[in-house]
Amino acid sequence: MAEPKLTGVMGAPVGHSLSPLIHCYWIKKYELQAEYIPLPVLPEQLTEALHSLKFLGFCGVNLTIPHKEKAYTQMKWLSPSAQAIGAVNTVKVEADGTLTGDNTDAQGYLLNLQQDLGQPERYFDQTVILGAGGAARAIVFALKQAGAKNIYICNRTLEKAQALADAFDVNVIAWQNRQEQMRHTSLLVNTTSLGMQGKAALDIDLSEFPQSGAVSDIVYRPKLTQLLRQAQMRGCRTSSGLGMLLYQAVPAFESWFGVRPQVDESLVRLLEEQLEQ
Ligand code: NAP
């Protein structure tokens, strides 16, 4: 019998990661001879750990906090999205042992938006992105690629909003002015950690947000955030963070195993159950 293909996720900590659940589900579904395992790796061990992958028989790994930026410098080749975002979340060990890096967050975000909104470009006139962290960077890149116009970054720390806006040639709104912008917005995206279980709530009122608009929240604990609940009560289309988490795994799995996996109902339910625990 052939040796199983090895994959996994490197992080510190890594126990919270939902990636093993997703990839192991697909490995079983597609009857692959493969394993996907959590790999606790400290920041100071990352370089050595990455370059050991080929000797240990791994065909690739995912990277989570805090490794995504540091791994960037260790790759022989970087995909255009990894270059634009400045971070790597998917590593492939090529046949000659070299490491190539991709960032699937942007693609995953767009795949999920298509799934949830049908034709997301209908909402691309005026986009407000709350937050300017790592996830916001992937989302600005994704939305620009997909043709969104008039993108505004709105972040508590103005300098970070400005740096992100300069990098992608988009606009900035001061955090304290977010409320008055709502009535002019067609797509609102929350990329801050506000609204996440255990964090403060996102203080925003959607009563003047157009009912024809859409709201996307990348926070996935809980699945239905207060922001999404508010948007649904107003009759707006919504897109959840759980979908982004699932769809960013699709291109990673395909790059290692050559099978494009499906995000099916049972997998969504499995994740929802896990998040409820
Ligand atoms: P990050 O780089 O640490 O950025 C955090 C962002 O939240 C920053 O813009 C920060 O503003 C803002 N923020 C934090 N506390 C705040 C507060 N009290 N008031 C106003 N703004 C606040 O984190 P990240 O990696 O971008 O992730 C952000 C969120 O997205 C997390 O909840 C993460 O779980 C989620 N996420 C989801 C997915 C998915 O697949 N669904 C993928 C990636 C991330 P400052 O700049 O002012 O600090």
Q: Could you read off the pLDDT tens digit of each residue along the chain, which spans 277 residues?
A: 677 899 999 999 999 999 999 999 999 999 999 999 999 999 999 999 999 999 999 999 999 999 999 999 999 999 999 999 999 999 999 999 999 999 999 999 999 999 999 999 999 999 999 999 999 999 999 999 999 989 999 999 999 999 999 999 999 999 999 999 999 999 999 999 999 999 999 999 999 999 999 999 999 999 999 999 999 999 999 999 999 999 999 999 999 999 999 999 999 999 999 988 8
Determine the atom of ligand 1 nearest the C-alpha atom of 161.
Answer: 46
Order of strands, sheet of 151-155, starting from the edge strand that comes earlier in the sequence: 171-174, 151-155, 127-130, 187-190, 214-217, 237-239
Q: What is the pLDDT of residue 3?
A: 78
219 C-beta closer than 6 A to ligand 1: yes
162 C-beta closer than 6 A to ligand 1: no
Indicate if 28 belongs to the active site: no
Residue 80 to residues 70, 77, 128, 266, Cα–Cα distance (Å) = 17, 10, 24, 33
19 C-beta closer than 6 A to ligand 1: no
**Smallest Cα–Cα separation from 252: which of 7, 5, 3, 4?**
7
Q: What is the pLDDT of residue 2?
A: 72
Q: What is the pLDDT of residue 7?
A: 98
132 C-beta closer than 6 A to ligand 1: yes
Determine the atom of ligand 1 nearest the C-alpha atom of 248.
Answer: 40
Q: What is the pLDDT of residue 1?
A: 63
Phi, psi of 78, rounded to the nearest 5 degrees: -125, 140
Q: What is the pTM of this model?
A: 0.95
Q: What is the pLDDT of residue 277?
A: 82
Report how far residue 90's alpha carbon sits from residue 196's, in angstroms, rounded to the nearest whole number: 25
Q: What is the pLDDT of residue 276?
A: 85
Q: What is the pLDDT of residue 191?
A: 97
Q: What is the pLDDT of residue 209?
A: 98
